[in-house]
Amino acid sequence: MTEIEWWDYDAPSEMAEAVAGDVRFIIESAIDARGSAVIALPGGKTPQPIFERLAQAKLDWRKVTIVPTDDRLVPMGDELSNITMICKTFVPLGARVFPITSEAAEDYKAAGRAADARLQDLHWPLDLCLLGVGGDGHTASIFPGPDLDEALTGPSERRALGVRPDPMPPEAPVDRVTLSLAAIKSAAALMIAISGENKKQVIEAAVAEGVGSPYPIGRVLAAAELPVDIHWSR
């Protein structure tokens, strides 16, 4: 199990300020070292205040590429689309937002293969992977279901794949494309941002269970090779 450091906050706004500051530093460091930065950001409600704070940073956004950690197989502009939310915040700043899927697809596995092929053109590994965690212990779109083992143990060179959660989440009952565990754990920095007591308890249980955890986030943390910062707000 990798080293994990918890950061606790009394309010989501405090966490957003802190996480945005850390992300800004990582981006600046990558631009200073290499002339560009490539980061992965999650969807969902928790990161939205983080994105708003990060968007205020005085960065050379033209040198920043942003990839979603995962996305639903829905058309661009759909309320379930992670890339749409990320685009609305960062494209006006000049950032390059790199979709891993942009439309509904009947064959989710083919959509995953296409996403993986596109990601091969990016600088790798990621400078940062910022993850969220669901109340059921999923992270990115690594869910229980028929594709879980492939997401966790697939080839190290595979960066993305299509997945079908089972059971389907009622709030978004669609197939997804997700970064693989190999892609996530290879990132130069790995951070998690969550809110609520339930999610904290899920991660604490997953950490205690280690590589045998039934929670996907437990498997990800067990495989991580670098320290992981977990930011949690009440």
Question: How sure is the predictor about 103, in pLDDT bands with cuts at 50, 70 and 90?
Answer: confident
Q: Are 205 and 136 in contact (CB under 8 A)?
A: no
Start-to-end Cα distance in the chain: 25
| C-alpha dist (Å) from residue 68 to 106, 110, 184, 212 | 21, 18, 12, 27
3-state secondary structure of 68: strand
Q: From CA 157, how far away is CA 154, in angstroms rounded?
A: 8
Q: From CA 166, how far away is CA 69, in angstroms rounded?
A: 19
Q: From CA 56, how far away is CA 126, in angstroms rounded?
A: 22
Tokens of 27: 């981006």
pLDDT for 105:
75
Neighbouring residues of 223: CB distance < 8 A, sequence distance ≥ 6: 152, 181, 185, 211
Cβ neighbours, 10 Å, residue 152: 16
pLDDT for 1:
58
The pLDDT tens digits for 31-51 are 999 999 999 999 988 999 999
In this predicted structure, the answer to whether residue 102 has a pLDDT above a threshold of 90 is: no
The pLDDT tens digits for 39-85 are 999 998 899 999 999 999 999 999 999 999 999 999 989 999 999 99
In this predicted structure, the answer to whether residue 2 has a pLDDT above a threshold of 90 is: no
pLDDT for 11:
95
Q: From CA 49, how far away is CA 38, in angstroms rounded?
A: 20
Tell me which DSSP letter residue 212 carries. G
Tokens of 215: 């929670």
